[in-house]
A and B are shown apart, each in its own frame.
Chain A
Amino acid sequence: MSLTNKVTAEDILRISGVDASRCMQCGKCSGACPNYDEMDYHPHQFAAMVRKGKITELMESKALYQCLSCFACSQRCPRGVEPAKLIEAVRLSVIRQKGKNYMTADALPEKLDEKIPQQALVSAMRKYSK
Chain B
Amino acid sequence: MQKIGVFVCWCGSNIAATVDVKAVAEALKDEAGVVFSTDYQYMCSENGQAMIRQAIKDYGLTGIVVCSCSPRMHEATFRKTAVSAGLNPYMVEIANIREQCSWIHKDMAEGTEKAIVLARAAVAKLHRNAPLTAGTSPVTKRALVIGGGIAGIQTALDVADAGFEVDIVEKSPTIGGRMAQLDKTFPTLDCSACILTPKMVEAAQHEKINIISYAELESLSGFVGNFTATIRKKARYIDEDKCSGCGVCTEKCPSRKGLDDFNMRLNKRGAVYIPFAQAIPNVAVIDADQCIHFRTGKCGLCQKNCSAGAIDFEQKDQLIERQYGAIVVATGFKPIDASQFNEYAYNDSPDVVTSLEFERIMNAAGPTKGQLVRPSDLEHPHEIVFIQCVGSRCSEDAEKGKPYCSKICCMYTAKHAMLVREKYPDVNVHVFYIDARTPGKNFDEFYRRAVEQYGVDYIKGMVGKVSVEGKKLHVQGSDLLNGEQVHINADMVVLATAIEPDPTARSLGTMLTASMDTNDFFTEAHPKLRPVESPTAGVFLSGVAQGPKDIPETVAQAGAAAAKVIGLLAKNELTCNACVAHANEAVCNGCSQCERVCPYGAITYEDREIRTPEFRGVRRIATVNEAVCQGCGACTVTCPSGAMDLKGFTNRQIMSEVDAICR
Q: A-side interface residues toward B, CB under 8 Å?
A: 22, 24-33, 36-37, 42, 44, 72-73, 76, 78-80
Contacts and interface: CB of A to CB of B under 8 A. Distances in A.
A48 B397 CA distance: 21
A26 B389 CA distance: 10
A28 B463 contact: yes
Contact of B461 (A31, A37, A78, A79): A31
A121 to B, nearest CB: 28
A51 to B, nearest CB: 15
A37 B39 CA distance: 75
A78 B395 contact: yes
Contacts of B434: 24-27
B31 interface: no
A29 B393 CA distance: 15
Contact of A31 (B394, B395, B398, B464): B464
Q: Which of B397, B476, B478, B480 has the most CB of A within 10 A?
A: B478
Q: In the A-B complex, list the 3 residue pairs whose CB atoms are closest, starting with the nearest.
A: A32-B464, A31-B464, A27-B478
B398 A33 contact: no
A52 B464 CA distance: 24
B398 A27 contact: no
A37 B393 CA distance: 28
Contacts of B432: 31
Given A26-B434, A31-B461, A36-B485, 7 more contacts: A26-B461, A27-B480, A30-B478, A30-B485, A32-B465, A44-B478, A79-B394
A24 B460 CA distance: 12
A80 B462 contact: no
A24 B485 contact: no
Contacts of B485: 30-31, 33, 36-37, 42
21 contacts: A25-B434, A26-B462, A27-B478, A27-B480, A29-B464, A30-B461, A30-B464, A30-B478, A30-B485, A31-B462, A31-B463, A32-B476, A44-B480, A72-B464, A76-B464, A76-B465, A78-B395, A78-B398, A79-B393, A79-B395, A80-B395
Contacts of B397: 80
Contacts of A33: 464, 485
B176 interface: no
Contact of B401 (A22, A29, A44, A78): A78
B303 to A, nearest CB: 52
B607 interface: no
A30 B393 CA distance: 18
B477 interface: yes
Interface in B391-421: 393-395, 397-398, 401
